[in-house]
Amino acid sequence: MYPCPCSQIHAPRRVVLTGGPGAGKTAVLELIRQSFCHHVKVLPEAASIVFGGGFPRGPVPAVQRASQRAIFYVQRELEAATTGERLAVVLHDRGTIDGLAYWPGPDDFWAGVGTSLGEQLARYDAVIHLRTPSADGGYDQSNPLRIEAAEEAQRIDERIADAWRDHPRRFVVESTESFLTKARRALALLLDEMPTCCRHHQVPALAGDAPP
Ligand SMILES: [Zn+2]
Ligand SMILES: [Zn+2]
């Protein structure tokens, strides 16, 4: 985090970074932590808190539904717990809408947590979706198990894209041969969300050539 001379009181913008398995979300978040000023706060991922804390997981639909509801509530309260810090951007490592992509059905996720898709879409100012690389781009193809895992990762990524499709400010970052190019696109999108009062330093990863 860069020290920042800005002393404005911002209306914090809520930005989601999402993406399927293998999309590079963790690496991009690390770059963001290193690159932006201390008025950008990166929230922890709710699913990591829930599963890392020992919440049961597995293929049984009742268990999947329980875990997705738990993740939803943790996500919502994480967002509620991040106020009053003079932040310019609150960056969410996934948002409540990602739960739809993991919900085993029936189609009643929102009713189950007492809200609606419209209400959840309105929580976020922007969403940046890092796409999972295709099975033949970025994965080792020599191992059939890995190809299967890659195809499953793409299916999840597709479901995430579908879940967020109605967000009015949704930015999709496709996979590129060079991961740095992809990461720079994501960082440039985040920079666009920053107020001018917080742009006192050059973002190192964006220095030099403008991202293509
Ligand atoms: Zn700042
Ligand atoms: Zn500022």
Comparison of pLDDT for 32 and 148, the residue scoring more: 32
Residue 92 parent element (H or E): strand 89-93
Q: Is the pLDDT of residue 211 over 50?
A: no
Q: How far is the CA of 198 from the centre of ligand 1 (A)?
A: 4
The ligand that comes nearest to the alpha carbon of residue 9 is: 2
Which amino acid belongs to residue 145? L
pLDDT of residue 207: 77
Q: How far is the CA of 179 from the centre of ligand 2 (A)?
A: 29
CB atoms within 10 A of CB 135: 17
The ligand that comes nearest to the alpha carbon of residue 8 is: 2
pLDDT of residue 142: 65
Q: How far is the CA of 41 from the centre of ligand 2 (A)?
A: 13
Q: How far is the CA of 126 from the centre of ligand 2 (A)?
A: 18
Instruction: List, as ranges, residues with CB under 5 A of the ion ligand 2.
Output: 6, 8, 197-198
CA gap 131, 29 in Å, rounded: 15
Q: How far is the CA of 186 from the centre of ligand 2 (A)?
A: 20
Q: Is the pLDDT of residue 208 over 50?
A: yes
Q: How far is the CA of 192 from the centre of ligand 1 (A)?
A: 13
CB atoms within 10 A of CB 50: 21
Mean pLDDT of 13-30: 95
Ranges 7-16, 39-48, 98-107, 195-204: which has the least confidence: 195-204
Which amino acid belongs to residue 32? I
Q: How far is the CA of 48 from the centre of ligand 1 (A)?
A: 28
26: its two tokens: 């963790």
Could you give phi then psi for residue 30, rounded to 5 degrees? Answer: -65, -45
User: What are the pLDDT digits (tens) for 55-103?
Assistant: 999 999 999 999 999 999 999 999 999 977 899 999 999 999 999 999 9
pLDDT band per the 50, 70, 90 thresholds, residue 209: low
pLDDT of residue 212: 45
Instruction: List, as ranges, residues with CB under 5 A of the ion ligand 1.
Output: 4, 6, 37, 39, 198
Q: Are 156 and 22 in contact (CB under 8 A)?
A: no
Q: How far is the CA of 98 from the centre of ligand 2 (A)?
A: 29
Comparison of pLDDT for 110 and 134, the residue scoring more: 110
Q: Among residues 16, 179, 169, which one has the least CA distance to residue 97?
A: 16
Average pLDDT taken over every residue of the chain: 91
